[in-house]
Amino acid sequence: MLAVCGWRGVGKTTLLERVIPELVRRGLVLAAVKHHTHAGAIAVDQPGKDSDRLFRAGADVHLTAPAEAFERTHRTDPEDLPPVLSGLLEDHDLVLVEGHKDTPLPKVWVCGEGEQGPPEGVGEVLAALPRDADRPRRFQEFLDEWLPCAWSAIPVYGGVLVGGAGTRIGHPKQLLPHRAGTFLEAVVAAIEPILPHVVLLGGGAIPAACEHLPRLSDAPGFAGPIAGMLAALRWAPGHTWLFAACDLPMLSPEAVTWLVGQRRPGRWAVLPDCGKGVEPLLASYEPQVRGPLQRLADDPDAGPRLLERHPKVRVLAPPAELRNCWRNINTPEDLAALGEEPRP
């Protein structure tokens, strides 16, 4: 979230109008919040129209058309802006707030005539745009530097899925022996050096060495890995998650580092493809992906792999030397082949 502040008439709306098309061209999904400071109703609908009549009767109104939608609601609490902004962040890459200089948000100050910078007491101002400068260019340059840093500052949690029974292999895969421990211990050991917050997802049995880790039950009403993924995204909705299956004993910290390093503004998930299709259970997911994942979960035959169709999801090939980290152990034959490999 970023506020664009300044006194009335300094050109805040014009500035945003100039910059937003370039951000949209780059693939970002934007929300703009306008601060209306005048008393009385906001002029957004035509008196006498059905939607205006319903609103004046007391209902919140949601209008839909083939290419757009509009929502008009009754605000009962003048301090309810923070939850509104948080809601917008659930399905937008960037929320630009015009005005609200007293709201605790990072800000850019648009200078008026004779101003050299923001006045005192307006909080965290990251940049000031002089009146005699090319303000759209200066603002775009600021966003090019600030937005990737703000995006990468979102905390990343590791979520390891331990809900499966391992029916194809005849044993819960997280408990299968591997080197000096188990599959689950190997996966956790690869993630923890990079992401110190690791959470177990699901109700499967776990080895004693992992009992210290926090654990979430599957989201009720869902099955398969999506149940654990949704539980995590609901538990920490403002965080990025790296989800990993428990049957990846070859996972390394280098692969985790590479995957986290592929995060960019506007990418709601990064799904690796090692040449045999996307692998959604060693992939990174931004907070905004919760809605698309929820809609997938409503179809009992769908899985997280179908997220590759979403326009905000990026499919990338890992470096050749790391692709073995995405190797799942699903069958007794896979397990036997794993045991024949030399240990490092």
Mean pLDDT of the region 278-298: 93
Please give the pLDDT value at position 159.
98
Highest mean pLDDT: which range of 112-121, 276-285, 301-310? 276-285
| Amino acid at position 94, single letter | L
Q: State percent of the chain over pLDDT 70.
A: 91
* pLDDT at 283 exceeding the cut of 80: yes
Mean pLDDT of the region 80-104: 83
Of 71-80, 91-100, 133-142, give the lowest mean pLDDT range. Answer: 71-80
Distance from C-alpha of 135 to C-alpha of 12, rounded to nearest angstrom: 10
Helices (H) and strands (E) in the chain, counts: 9, 16
Please give the pLDDT value at position 36.
63
Structural domain boundaries in the chain: 2-37+46-152, 156-339
Q: What is the largest CA-CA distance in the chain?
A: 78
Q: Helix, strand, coil shares of the chain as percentages rounded to 5?
A: 35, 20, 45
* pLDDT at 43 exceeding the cut of 50: yes
Neighbours of 109 (CB within 10 A): 24
Domains 2-37+46-152 and 156-339 alike in fold: no
Please give the pLDDT value at position 344.
35
How does residue 42 score in pLDDT terms, banded at 50, 70 and 90?
low
pTM of the model: 0.87
- Is the Cα dihedral 92, 97, 100, 102 positive or negative? positive
86 to each of 29, 91, 237, 287, 325, how far by Cα in Å?
15, 10, 10, 11, 36
Segment holding 160, helix H or strand E: strand 156-161
Please give the pLDDT value at position 79.
62
Convert the pLDDT of each residue in 290-300 to its tens digit. Answer: 999 988 887 77
Distance from C-alpha of 256 to C-alpha of 258, rounded to nearest angstrom: 5
* pLDDT at 44 exceeding the cut of 90: no
User: Thinking of the domain 156-339, which architecture would CATH place it in?
Assistant: Alpha-Beta Complex (3.90)
* pLDDT at 167 exceeding the cut of 80: no
Mean pLDDT of the region 198-208: 95
* pLDDT at 168 exceeding the cut of 80: no
Q: Are strands 2-5 and 107-110 parallel, antiparallel or unpaired?
A: parallel
Looking at domain 2-37+46-152, which of 3.30.1380.10, 3.50.50.60, 3.40.50.2300, 3.40.50.300 is its CATH number?
3.40.50.300
Distance of CA 291 to the CA centre of its chain: 10
How does residue 76 score in pLDDT terms, banded at 50, 70 and 90?
low
183 to each of 157, 210, 245, how far by Cα in Å?
19, 11, 10
Convert the pLDDT of each residue in 114-161 to its tens digit. Answer: 888 898 888 889 999 998 889 999 999 999 999 999 999 999 999 999
How does residue 191 score in pLDDT terms, banded at 50, 70 and 90?
very high
122 to each of 38, 82, 258, 275, how far by Cα in Å?
20, 17, 39, 52
**What beta strand segments (E) does 48-116 contain?**
61-65, 68-72, 94-98, 107-110
How does residue 41 score in pLDDT terms, banded at 50, 70 and 90?
low
Mean pLDDT of the region 33-49: 64
Q: Which two tokens stand for residue 118?
A: 């923001």
How does residue 88 score in pLDDT terms, banded at 50, 70 and 90?
confident
| Amino acid at position 165, single letter | A
Closest by CA position to 286, among listed 36, 38, 92 = 92
